[in-house]
Amino acid sequence: MAEEFIIEAKKLCKSFGSLQAVKCVDLKVKKGEIFGFLGPNGAGKSTVINMLTTMLTPTSGTARVAGYDIVAEDNRVRENIGIVPQEILLENQLSARENLEFYGKLYHMRKEDMEARIPDLLEMAELTNRANDQVKTFSGGMKRRLEIAKAFMHRPKIIIMDEPTIGLDIQTRMVIWERIRELNKMGITIFITTHYMEEADLLCDRVAIMDQGEIKAIGTPDELKHGISKGSIVEVEFTGPQEKFIKEIGKLCNDAKITENHGHVVKFTCKDPVNAIKRIIENAGPAGVKIDNVSMHEPSLDDVFVHYTGRQIREQSAENLQGKFFAKMRG
């Protein structure tokens, strides 16, 4: 039986003049999964999302979201997706209930349907007791929970979340993760961007890494981590001649593979890290090198990200995606 994909892009490209922001991307998101989309600033990630949400028209290629073509059936696409923006876009002067009603009206929901739906959403957001309070009195975590509930107001098949826990403390982030899992258990496909690697690792079924307009890697977190290394990662901070020390690592550890090399910090992978560390410390002095610090760990998603992009992920600038989305809905 063929696997069902709720998002499927084929050779999706977008150019702005001479700049090719997205270079013929192929992307498939399975129905009912939590899918992570990672990429540094300028990778083309936001451009892909804007095409999938019908905010931008592709230069070439095709994509279907919830079974609908993003160009020919853009209204049907928007009916089937919810947006949780990075930037909080609630109406602060309105209550939690009124915010949900406002959103429902944008989707032309019947009054009786909204009245039946809102109590359940307020309960999901843990805001039943604050339903009639103005949003301006809410904490950041409460606002974020209301944003997620709002995106689910019209029962979409897919919810696209742009950095849903940015700026929140770890306890609040864990609460948001639980809300995301609850939605996913209801059969909702979650498409999430995040710069928190542990969030992608713990939450996502599969992850795609994008850089320079291309999908560099895609798979489960474990597949991606195992794919870049067959051993552990050793990190050494040192003082002394850099090139000589790197050559020394190669001689002492036959299976060593340098993954990062900047300043006086070197990272490499090897199958026997304990023995490698021991030999490096023993031979550092004769090589004219002073070891300042050494550590080892199993590959992480952060290591995967650096492997494919050459840099660590940074916080992405907030974009008013939901504002543009609503503007297009209004026509």
Question: How confident is the model at residue 305, as a pLDDT?
Answer: 87
**Of 246-260, 291-305, 314-328, which one has max mean pLDDT?**
291-305
Token pair 């996502």 in the structure block, residue: 204
For 5-220+313-330, CATH gives: 3.40.50.300
Helix (H, G, I), strand (E, B) or coil at 283: helix
Which residues have a Cβ under 8 Å from the Cβ of 20 and sit 6 or more positions away?
13, 14, 213
According to CATH, the topology of domain 230-298 is: VC0802-like (3.30.2130)
Distance from chain centroid for Cα 17: 28
- Residue ranges covered by each domain of the chain: 5-220+313-330, 230-298
Helix/strand/coil for 26: strand
- Is the CB of residue 86 less than 8 Å from the CB of residue 148? no
- Read off the pLDDT band of 327 (50, 70, 90): low
Instruction: pLDDT band for 27, please (50, 70, 90 cuts).
Output: very high
d(CA 82, CA 71): 18
- Angle made by CA atoms 67, 49, 220, in degrees to the nearest 5: 80
pLDDT of residue 316: 40
Which pLDDT band holds residue 329 (cuts at 50, 70, 90)?
low
Instruction: Give me 66's structure tokens.
Output: 């919830």
What pTM was computed for the model? 0.81
Grouping H, G, I as helix, E, B as strand and the rest as coil, residue 243 is helix
Mean pLDDT of the chain: 88
* pLDDT per residue as tens digits for the range 150-197: 999 999 999 999 988 988 888 888 999 999 999 999 999 999 998 888
| Full DSSP string of 55-68 | SS--SEEEEEETTE
* Angular region, 315: left φ>0, alpha ψ -120 to 50, beta rest: beta
pLDDT above 50 for 317: no
Q: Which residue has the tokens 């936001």?
A: 46
Quick one: pLDDT band at residue 204, thresholds 50, 70, 90? Answer: very high
